[in-house]
Chain A
Amino acid sequence: MSILVDEKSRVIVQGITGRDGAFHASQMIAYGTKVVGGVTPGKGGQKTDGGVPIFDTMADAVAETGADTSVIYVPAAFATDAICEAADAGIKLVVCITEGVPVLDMVRVLPYLRERGARLVGPNCPGVISPGKCKVGIMPGQIHMRGPVGVVSRSGTLTYEIDYHLTKNGFGQSTCLGIGGDPIVGTNILDALELFAKDEETECVVLIGEIGGSDEEEAAAMIAKGYPKKVAAFIAGQTAPPGKRMGHAGAIVSGGSGTAAEKIAAFKAVGVDVAAIPGEIVDLVARLLPSKGAPKRKSKGAPKRASKSAARPAAKGKKGTR
């Protein structure tokens, strides 16, 4: 099934004529995402080089295209407005890639979106990909492959690192969700776990956390109460010094709490294995999904640039019971 995005998602790119928007829009289209329009105020009526219609406003875009999803590549000073405009226009899933959105803006945006029945992913995130179906964000498509592992992560390239290992070892992903590195995000780890719990295609969840906040601890508490899927985790930042922001606005150990050690302990205490290094996630997943995973394949180097056919699930080998 996958969560949040699939082959039916109709996507508007907000900021489509900017450098990042234009580049990633074409990457998304190449992956097979249905990009049905873009918005850049003032450029309505034009088309991108790839033939995507551009609109002045989200309201126009949604009216014309019936879009239900949007992805935002807009500078921080304008991102909050873009999020609200999308929700107001009826978009149900807003994915905000932008880093640097003020925290107080996020405090105000979340109720605004909730009132309009819209979900925000991000900000400061790589986006969401359901391999083989739809990519809404900046992650490299070719390291992903469809399969039974749901991935939720606060990180960007660390997620790619782990997804790469999973794919290489035959553990495809149902959906990889980057929730972002900010202290307040639209969809947090608990939300992601709830979504994966209801997804038939997801058999196991890989959770990639880091220092700061208490999302991971709350996730552990949720899992302890009974969670229908297997979970494995990796937590970044064991060597982070207290009180310092480690790149991500939300990656900070403050007042002695939010340490990687505490998060790791919280997971182990509820029976969730935690990898010591990113590559070890594959071993943990192999234990959780003993009938899955392909034998080592002969492919050399990085997988070819994704086309729809390349993104079909790899041969699953022994199936056992699904």
Chain B
Amino acid sequence: MKIHEADARALFTKFGLPVPPSRLVLNPEDARKAAEEIGCPVVVKAQVLVGGRGKAGGVKLASTPEEAAAKAKAILGMDLKGIRVEKVLVARAVDIAKEFYVGMVIDRRSRKPLMMVSPAGGIDIEEVARTAPEKILKVVVDPAWGILPFQMRRMTASLSGDKETAKKIGPILAALYRAFMAVDASLAEINPLVVTPAGEVWAIDAKINIDDSSLYRQKEVAALRDESSEDRGEVEAREAGLSFVKLDGSIGCVVNGAGLAMATMDMIKHFGGQPANFLDIGGSSSPDKVLTAMRIILRDTNVKSILINIFGGITRCDDVATGLLEAKKQLGGDVPLVVRLIGTNEDRAREILRGTALIAAATMEEGVTKAIAAAKR
């Protein structure tokens, strides 16, 4: 789960990280007031859950409150990578002498938290990883210990030879680690961590992603979810216990199981079609879930046919087939539905579907090719 920069900054502040003061505002007048309160110069930053806001024109400096209002006016309502800017953050700007990158993830290879620091801050870290990976120091942190002093010395030394600066960075790294572990983050990033000409250290950007599986025990953080930036179908799917990702093809698919769902999308492409979505209804084959799934998919007018691919195993396929016919009746419409059911009583299921509005398929390949053909009609 992503959270807005404003919320990430608040969390960092809570854990003692040095974050410049800021206000979240919804209109230019409040931006002007905020700039007055905070003291100029300020930076006005679009609050949208996408990367590259700066490059897209969503981050602007302002040297007076009036200018802050003007910049806010320009940024609010902007379309940034498909999302409308509804809020901006007005934050005190600081002079930048040096920019570092500091971040933490859970490293899948070592199966431990991993801290990454680089003196090449203020730019896309993935670019640095590609072109100058030697500039990124990675330190595996053992949760039994936290960051050990020798690891801290390595990291601060790699960022700055200046003793005074190093003394300030250490506690920041420690606080980042504590924050990361406390909120079940999957990613926590400060890019850039800035050193001013006067030697102050500030975190002037903040990004935190939260492990979706931890939301049940992170109630406060879970409440920070901003659904307005998510695809409506994805929100609805999540609430119904489904996984949905919208793509831009014309063949919808409903599958039980994420791996099988990905393989279904891939097979559609393999046979010359374009998948319209990824949709996993989970381990069940319940017609209710399939109905919800189809409703979500059918909102997309690009969809010209839907393939329902269910590996039933011990689930009785004839029951599923009957349920699907019922669902189709409720759903109405004339988008062709191709159904591939495999498992107990699959022959009987195909009998039940014969001559109905649903097109039956015996294999996954047959289902995919029939769905592609049906979309062309």
Contacts and interface: CB of A to CB of B under 8 A. Distances in A.
B212 interface: yes
Interface in B322-340: none
Given A184-B111, A240-B265, A246-B262, A27 B214 contact: no
Contact of B245 (A208, A246, A249): A246
Interface stretch (A10-18, A44-52, A83-91, A98-106): A98-106
B313 A300 contact: no
Contact of A251 (B106, B113, B262): B262
Contacts of A161: 260, 263, 311, 342, 364
Interface in B263-318: 263, 265-270, 275, 278, 280, 283, 311, 313-314
B126 A255 contact: yes
Interface stretch (B12-20, B21-29, B52-60, B251-259): B251-259
Interface string B180-209: 010010100000000000000000000000
B226 interface: no
Interface stretch (A138-146, A284-292, A313-321): A138-146
B74 interface: no
Contacts of A302: 342-346
A230 B359 CA distance: 39
B48 interface: no
A103 B365 contact: no
Contacts of A154: 259
Interface residues of A, number: 65
B213 A101 contact: yes
B39 to A, nearest CB: 37
Interface in B43-72: none
Nearest to B363: A279
Interface string A194-224: 0000000000000010110111001000000
A279 B266 CA distance: 13
A139 B313 contact: yes
A159 interface: yes
A104 B211 contact: yes
Contact of A158 (B143, B259, B268, B346): B259
A241 B343 CA distance: 30
Contacts of A277: 263, 266-267, 270, 364-365
A65 interface: no
Interface string A107-120: 11011000000000
Q: Which one of B112, B269, B278 has the highest number of Cβ atoms from chain A below 10 Å of its Cβ?
A: B278
A260 B267 CA distance: 14
B108 interface: yes
B213 A246 contact: no
Contacts of B144: 111
Interface string A252-282: 0001100010000000000000001111000
7 contacts: A100-B213, A102-B213, A104-B184, A161-B260, A208-B259, A247-B262, A277-B266
Rank and list the top 3 A-B pairs by shortest CB-CB distance, nearest first: A155-B259, A247-B258, A157-B257
Interface of A: 27, 76-77, 100-104, 106-108, 110-111, 138-140, 142-143, 153-161, 164, 181-184, 208, 210-211, 213-215, 218, 234, 236-241, 244-251, 255-256, 260, 276-279, 300-302, 305
